[in-house]
Amino acid sequence: MRQGRFDEPASETAQLYSESVSIDWRLSSHDIKGSLAHAKALAAAGILTREEHEQIEAALTVIEAEIKAGDFRWERSLEDVHMNIEAALTKRIGAAGAKLHTARSRNDQVALDLRLYVKAESAEICTRLRALQRSMLSLAERYQTVVMPGYTHLQRAQPIVLAHYFLAQMEALERDHARIIDCARRADVLPLGSGALAGSTIVLDRELIARELGFAKLSQNSLDAVGDRDFIAEFLFGLAMIGMHLSRLSEELILWSTTEFGFITFSDAFSTGSSLMPQKKNPDMAELTRGKTGRLYGNLIALLTTLKGLPSSYQRDLQEDKGPLFDSVTTVKDALSVFAAMLPELAVNQGRMESAADDPNLLATDLAEYLVKKGMPFREAHEAVGKLVVRAANAKLALNNISLLEMQEISPLFDEEVLKVFNVRASLAKRAAIGAPSPENVAAQIARWKSLL
């Protein structure tokens, strides 16, 4: 901003390089909300007359309506959203508009706008997280009894039900939800009144402003308040974590949709074709989400890198906080909406999943635990069953087709009851510890989530 201190205007090149209104216009509603609260405090302090206060309120309301309608003209020469709105206000009502910036700096003004923005977008993202969780809960209820292999190292490991898988994704999203709420709590601190870095000799009622804007706390150090962007970094981390969880989900769904797995099929509405190969049906929405997660990480690192070299208080480098913030918010909101709409349309190949889960090797751990229940130490039982697995593989037999006599050659603890181990649904029923995928546990978790959501 260049006023009386400068004899010459900034060059056009410098203006184009330094303007931020092309990005920060998105803060306009928050900027106006902050100005209305600030005007009320100025009126309470006697800086504005009642008439001036009413003029400011009326004009800002009209300006906000024009912005929402797309009728407001943003001027790059005025640098940012704050000066554009202030200039429009002063042009309309004159001296009263010029009084609005009393006891306020763009430093505490932008800090305020960003906190209001993060609070509002946190609420919106939490709403979309809940919508996605509801989609997943519906799938968990629909596929409560569908047995499938659980995987470690991308190798078949132990049987689970598909509902248990979707409930697992809901747990991750619940951590995201809690993390975003926690971020919003730390953003819920009013910085307005900090001025450029040392407040003002014109003391306003900051508690009044906080009540008007819905802030729970007041900043306690003006120097810190204008330079603090921790809440944005934390928010970007929360958004990156959501992206990571959606990316991991995407990777799994992409694999499951391949011919090699054949577990699911994406609907036509959320798939694309190939420009060359007529047979292709590509899971592009999931792939794009997996790719966009890299941008979310990049935005977090970009902000942290900007912050790491800054002295205390406000520096112009902080203008670079908005691009990463806005991009991450838009990216995550879009991804959450896409997944909430895409998941209910997945077609599940129940037969293929249950056929894959019918692999007796998935019950090798159950076999070892069978020996443990007969008194064998687990490490010995693990080794004994490992030998059985090798013997079955060499003989090209399923593990449950090894004869009892051969089993007893490895351990005399095997008896006729061993064949009961090779029953997937019986195995699942026994997995009754808290958090395990027994039918009763899964049903209880579905009920718990229904109550929560």
**Number of alpha carbons in the 13 Å side-chain half-sphere of residue 172:** 19
The residues, ordered by sequence, that sit 6+ positions from 294 with a Cβ below 8 Å of its Cβ are none
CA separation for the pair 27, 85 (Å, rounded) = 11
The strand pair at 147-152 and 155-161 is best described as: antiparallel
| Strand partners for 265 | 347
Backbone angles phi, psi at 218, to 5 degrees: -110, 145
Q: Report domain 107-148+160-355's class.
A: mainly alpha
Which H, E and C letters describe 342-403, residue by residue? HHHHCEECHHHHHHHHCCHHHHHHHHHHHHHHCCCCHHHHHHHHHHHHHHHHHCCCCHHHCC
CA separation for the pair 152, 148 (Å, rounded) = 13
CA separation for the pair 451, 38 (Å, rounded) = 42
**What integer pLDDT is reported at residue 2 of this predicted model?**
52
Superfamily, domain 356-452? Fumarase/aspartase (C-terminal domain) (1.10.40.30)
Taken as a whole, the chain contains a residue count of 453
> Is 382 marked active-site?
no
Specify burial of residue 399 (Cβ count, 10 A radius: 0-12, 13-18, 19+): buried
Smallest CA-to-CA distance from 363 within 395, 397, 398, 396 is with 398
- 107-148+160-355 with 356-452: one CATH topology? no
Other C-beta atoms closer than 10 Å to the C-beta of 308 total 7
For each of the chain's 453 residues, which pLDDT tens digit applies?
556 566 667 778 888 888 999 999 999 999 999 999 999 999 999 999 999 999 999 999 999 999 999 999 999 999 999 999 999 999 999 999 999 999 999 999 999 999 999 999 999 999 999 999 999 999 999 999 999 999 999 999 999 999 999 999 999 999 999 999 999 999 999 999 999 999 999 999 999 999 999 999 999 999 999 999 999 999 999 999 999 999 999 999 999 999 999 999 999 999 999 888 988 899 999 999 999 999 999 999 999 999 999 999 999 999 999 999 999 999 999 999 999 999 999 999 999 999 999 999 999 999 999 999 999 999 999 999 999 999 999 999 999 999 999 999 999 999 999 999 999 999 999 999 999 999 999 999 999 999 999
Q: Is the distance from CB of 364 to CB of 156 less than 8 angstroms? A: no
**What integer pLDDT is reported at residue 8 of this predicted model?**
67
Structure tokens at 399: 């593990």
Q: Report domain 12-102's class.
A: mainly alpha
**What integer pLDDT is reported at residue 12 of this predicted model?**
81
Torsion of CA 364, 366, 370, 375, to 10 degrees: 90
Q: Which amino acid is at 137?
A: L
CA separation for the pair 185, 216 (Å, rounded) = 9
> Is 38 marked active-site?
no
Which entry of 11, 153, 275, 451 is annotated as an active-site residue?
A: 153
CA separation for the pair 14, 6 (Å, rounded) = 14
Which entry of 11, 29, 194, 274 is annotated as an active-site residue?
A: 274
Domain boundaries along the sequence of the chain: 12-102, 107-148+160-355, 356-452
Q: Is the distance from CB of 283 to CB of 257 less than 8 angstroms? A: yes
With tokens 């995928």, the residue in question is: 437
**What integer pLDDT is reported at residue 15 of this predicted model?**
80
CA separation for the pair 266, 256 (Å, rounded) = 10
